[in-house]
Amino acid sequence: MNTPNSTSTYPHAPGFVAGDRPRIVTSRFEYADSYTLERFLATDGYAGLRAALARPANEIHDEVKSATVLGRGGAGFPAGTKWGLTPQGVFPRYLVVNGDESEPGTYKDRLLMERDPHQLIEGCLIACYAAGLSQCFLYIRGEMALAQERVADALNEAYAAGYVGKNILGSKFSLDIILHWGAGAYVVGEETALIESLEGNRGMPRLKPPYFPAAIGLYGQPTIVNNVETLANLPWLMLNGADAYTAIGTKTSPGTRMVAVSGHVKRPGVYEIINGVTTFRDLIFGEEYCGGIRNGNKLKAFVPGGGSAPWFTEDQLDVPFEGQQAGAAGSMLGSGAVMVMDETTDIPAAALTLTRFYAHESCGKCTPCREGGTWLERILSRIVDGKGTDADLAQLVEVGTSICPGDFPHASSTRLGLDAVPFPYKMNTICFVGPSAYAPINSALVLFPEDFAARVTKRSMIPVTAVRAES
């Protein structure tokens, strides 16, 4: 395999930037025909499956467990542990692949589906074999037409060639993978909402407990919901083993992960980075990554883990991509999406673009989110339009507190002499959409109070009698 120089980009994969780093899931991106079965087979394709099928299923499960493959969808829960949560002796069990990628700032699953659909299919097969899952539903976001076409073509090729369907590779292992696509609803990325949608319903998250669909999921059966990138790691893991996997990154965050860095940086792109050790400073300022802020401007703030994540500033640049450290610093790594704002950014307006997103995407099930999200959007719009008052600022906090009681997590700030409030938050809603509507507002208010103070009119009391101005 050729070694791409540190900042290679490929015209056939817009957005992706290669580098001199281990590449577990993006190893085929340099080929223009990376999505074909022919290219896949020429580059170790389906060899991981063959290796897995040559061993007992429980051994494969153990291998994934010992590699600590963290879920790449947002919560970072280890896949092997998740598979183990299915109740003993209850069948059938299903695999639902979460390809409903819609978190603001995030895109890696789309690239993995467009550029290497066979790798994903191979990952699905390995997961189903290891965890005894008897049917797989591959749920792709509705708006991703090219990903749907590439996965459909790949599945058709794989069925015809005997990699999917009855008696795979001539073995006792049989599995159907059903391509399914959504129709536009962010909340469906939440795993119980995804299952509702797959059952033909409105995509609203289910009440918890049970906390994991591994206990009660699709059609009331044990169901594993895994993210696309998580599954894409499995073929490499089967070929190279858990020791090789954990040799990359750190003990708590092994392997690599894909991160999209967008906004005001010189070279925005999707990078496969080493988990656990790469810091935000490396990523935003490193020459082999984004190369710093555009036009030589200063960094103002960045969103470290998708639109739902509380913001960081330059004080947190040395935090690595490691869940616990990011949590202690007041945010989360989420879905691997960094959005960078430079000093020219209108902070209230930037927060509004995210709050509007979550208000728009609320499914309407929980009152604090359905009502609160819209309130937050309206109040913040008023402030951005220059018509807000200082009472509006207090109102934002009050509405936010009704969604998330207690202290909302935020980063520390040397400039303001603030300590961090660690992640996570308490919440009055079933899922994370409601808190996510408040996260950008809380970050903006706490870290940049002066940007709001300059925007609102001070009005400490409401006049009760009309006072005629003296001429």
Partner 1 sequence: MARLSEENVRLAKEVIARYPRARSAMIPLLHLAQEQDGYVTNEAMAHIGDLVGATSAEVYGTASFYEMFKFEPVGKYLINICGTMSCALMGAEDLMHHAEHRLGVKLGGTTDDGLFTLERAECQAACTEAPCLQVNYRYRFRVTAADFDALVDDLKAGNLTDEVPAHGIVARVRQQIPVDRGVGAVPPEDVTEAPTWMAEKAAL
Query: C-beta of 203: minimal distance to partner 1 in Å?
Result: 6
Q: Give the whole-angstrom CA distance, residue 104 versus residue 352.
A: 13
When binding is defined by CB under 8 A, the residue of 20, 32, 87, 156 that contacts partner 1 is 156
CB-nearer residue toward partner 1: 144 or 411 = 144
Of 22-30, 34-42, 128-136, 273-281, which segment contacts partner 1 by CB under 8 A?
128-136
When binding is defined by CB under 8 A, the residue of 32, 87, 166, 287 that contacts partner 1 is 166
Q: Which of residues 318-357 bind partner 1 (CB under 8 A)?
A: 337, 339, 341, 345, 349-350, 353-354, 356-357
Q: Which of residues 179-198 bind partner 1 (CB under 8 A)?
A: 179-186, 197-198
Our finding on whether 153 is near partner 1 (CB under 8 A) is: yes
- Bridge partners of 269? 261
Q: What is the CA radius of gyration of the chain?
A: 23
* Tokens 């609320």 sit on residue: 362
Our finding on whether 367 is near partner 1 (CB under 8 A) is: no
Q: Give the whole-angstrom CA distance, residue 254 versus residue 325.
A: 15
* Tokens 């330059």 sit on residue: 314
Our finding on whether 1 is near partner 1 (CB under 8 A) is: no
The residue among 187, 204, 234 whose CA lies nearest residue 357 is 187
- Bridge partners of 230? none
DSSP single-letter state for residue 314: G
CB-nearer residue toward partner 1: 248 or 303 = 303
Helix axes 117-131, 145-161, angle to 10 degrees: 60
Our finding on whether 10 is near partner 1 (CB under 8 A) is: no
CB-nearer residue toward partner 1: 39 or 55 = 55
Give Cβ neighbours of residue 309 (< 8 Å, ≥ 6 apart).
Answer: 303, 331, 332, 333, 334, 439
CB 435 within 8 Å of CB 404: yes
Q: Applying CB under 8 A, what is the total number of residues that bind partner 1?
A: 94
User: Residue 216, CB half-sphere, CA atoms under 13 Å: how many?
Assistant: 7
CB-nearer residue toward partner 1: 4 or 132 = 132
Query: C-beta of 455: minimal distance to partner 1 in Å?
Result: 17
CB-nearer residue toward partner 1: 68 or 119 = 119
Query: C-beta of 453: minimal distance to partner 1 in Å?
Result: 23
When binding is defined by CB under 8 A, the residue of 4, 22, 84, 165 that contacts partner 1 is 165
Our finding on whether 199 is near partner 1 (CB under 8 A) is: yes
CB-nearer residue toward partner 1: 146 or 207 = 146
Residue 335 to residues 107, 177, 284, 444, Cα–Cα distance (Å): 9, 25, 17, 21
Joined together, the tokens standing for residue 385 give 């339009």
When binding is defined by CB under 8 A, the residue of 87, 162, 406, 449 that contacts partner 1 is 162
Of 53-61, 277-285, 319-327, 452-460, which segment contacts partner 1 by CB under 8 A?
53-61
Query: C-beta of 110: minimal distance to partner 1 in Å?
Result: 5
Q: Which of residues 250-309 bind partner 1 (CB under 8 A)?
A: 260-264, 268-270, 303, 307
CB 412 within 8 Å of CB 446: no
CB-nearer residue toward partner 1: 103 or 392 = 103
Query: C-beta of 34: minimal distance to partner 1 in Å?
Result: 17
Q: Which of residues 84-123 bind partner 1 (CB under 8 A)?
A: 89, 91-92, 101-107, 109-110
CB 7 within 8 Å of CB 22: no
337 three-class SS: strand
CB-nearer residue toward partner 1: 5 or 201 = 201
Our finding on whether 399 is near partner 1 (CB under 8 A) is: no
Label residue 33 exposed, middle or buried (CB < 10 Å: 0-12, 13-18, 19+). Answer: exposed
Our finding on whether 171 is near partner 1 (CB under 8 A) is: yes
Rounded to 5°, the CA angle 452-456-461 comes to: 130
Torsion of CA 184, 190, 191, 194, to 10 degrees: -20
